[in-house]
Amino acid sequence: MSTNRTFTMIKPDAVANGHIGAIINDITNAGFKIIALKYTQLTAETAGEFYAVHKARPFYGDLVSFMSSGPIVAAILEKDNAIEDFRKLIGATNPAEAAEGTIRQKYAKSIDANAVHGSDSDENAQIEGDFFFTAAERF
């Protein structure tokens, strides 16, 4: 089922650097509607579970410890063509390669601390949204 929804996190670096407001502003200005929103912190265990798909990658341990190092903002967003449009809005994984004006280009400093997460498919958006939000927390 294609839902026109995506899931995002504002990662610990962007939260610590005071960019929550600016990033949410960029997201809503780009036409995304907020369906669910939460300020929370992952544990090493829940971060490990969320990123289990990357378990075999060399950066997995660093990714899990970084993502559990401080609070994050999790959100479900809605817009036509949400997955692709949101990936365009955030820019390349490595902020050094992210296009001018993208969220990662503006607010991220490195490939590991890259300010935001964006789902890469409808299926993963559903799984990732379900990881953080109950049905009663979506509007």
Residue 111 as a binder of ligand IDP (CB under 6 A): the answer is: yes
Is 59 one of the annotated binding-site residues? yes
| CA distance linking residue 19 with residue 114, whole number of Å | 12
Please identify, using beta-carbon distances, which residue of 19 and 117 lies nearer to ligand IDP.
117
Shortest distance, CB of residue 6 to ligand IDP, whole angstroms?
A: 11
Residue 114 as a binder of ligand IDP (CB under 6 A): the answer is: yes
Shortest distance, CB of residue 38 to ligand IDP, whole angstroms?
A: 19
Residue 131 as a binder of ligand IDP (CB under 6 A): the answer is: no
Known binding-site positions? 11, 59, 87, 93, 104, 114
Known binding-site positions for ATP? 11, 59, 87, 93, 104, 114
Q: Which residues bind ligand IDP (CB under 6 A)?
A: 54, 59, 63, 93, 111-112, 114, 117, 120
